[in-house]
Chains A and B, each alone.
Chain A
């Protein structure tokens, strides 16, 4: 199975900051990497697919990059609604696997 490791596990930032979350795959996954946002008590929301493509309706403040084993999610100009938990997911091979999540908190 491909293990997905996110760092950091938690992150404190202020409104207006730019933050970067890293996701590392235990083996190469090409660009088969997605990012999801989840707020407490809510379903996940799809943000990015194929490493860097935004899902419909997702603002351009979210961006993704990487390839192979190392990937990043960058969120610019943080707003209160951006504070949530973020998950990466590989869909290169079965079983599909998620990172453990990164909790983004308001400083």
Chain B
């Protein structure tokens, strides 16, 4: 079964850091670009960023709202995707989803999400 499972969410103070993980199974993880998408409570979906595969040098793209604070990485040997979040703000409070980009360029598989709460 193709599956993505996020972990690492929790409560963190403003200015703090948190690292999210996304474990992939059931497909060749190393072939795919991977995205992070977030959703603030009661709000819509917001794209956070993307990491390409090895063939594309693991290059990354970010939303302006997180650029310079968040870093996406991956470990293909562990079938894992990561989101390192630094200098967290209250407005980063959201459910964070990892998602797979299909070969047709659109996202096709999503994880169940992990909640991040930034509050003092």
Q: List residues of chain A with CB under 8 Å of any chain B CB.
A: 1, 32, 34, 36, 38, 42-46, 49-50, 53, 55-56, 87, 89, 91, 94-101
Contacts and interface: CB of A to CB of B under 8 A. Distances in A.
A46 B47 contact: no
B110 A32 contact: no
A89 B50 CA distance: 15
B105 A44 contact: no
A36 B45 contact: yes
Contacts, number: 63
24 contacts: A1-B64, A34-B107, A36-B45, A36-B107, A38-B45, A43-B113, A44-B45, A45-B110, A49-B102, A50-B104, A50-B106, A53-B104, A55-B108, A56-B108, A89-B47, A91-B106, A94-B61, A95-B63, A96-B47, A97-B47, A98-B45, A98-B46, A98-B47, A101-B45
Interface in B105-119: 105-113
B36 to A, nearest CB: 11
B44 interface: yes
Interface string B69-101: 000000000000000000000000000010000
A98 B107 contact: no
A56 to B, nearest CB: 8
Contacts of A56: 108
A97 B63 CA distance: 9
B79 to A, nearest CB: 19
B5 to A, nearest CB: 11
Contacts of B44: 87, 98-101
B110 A46 contact: yes
A95 B110 contact: no
Given A42-B112, A45-B110, A49-B102, 19 more contacts: A36-B107, A43-B110, A43-B112, A43-B113, A44-B97, A46-B107, A46-B108, A49-B104, A49-B108, A50-B106, A87-B45, A89-B45, A89-B47, A91-B107, A95-B61, A96-B35, A96-B50, A98-B44, A101-B45
Contacts of A94: 50, 61
A103 to B, nearest CB: 10
Interface centre among B37, B61, B64 (most CB of A within 10 A): B37
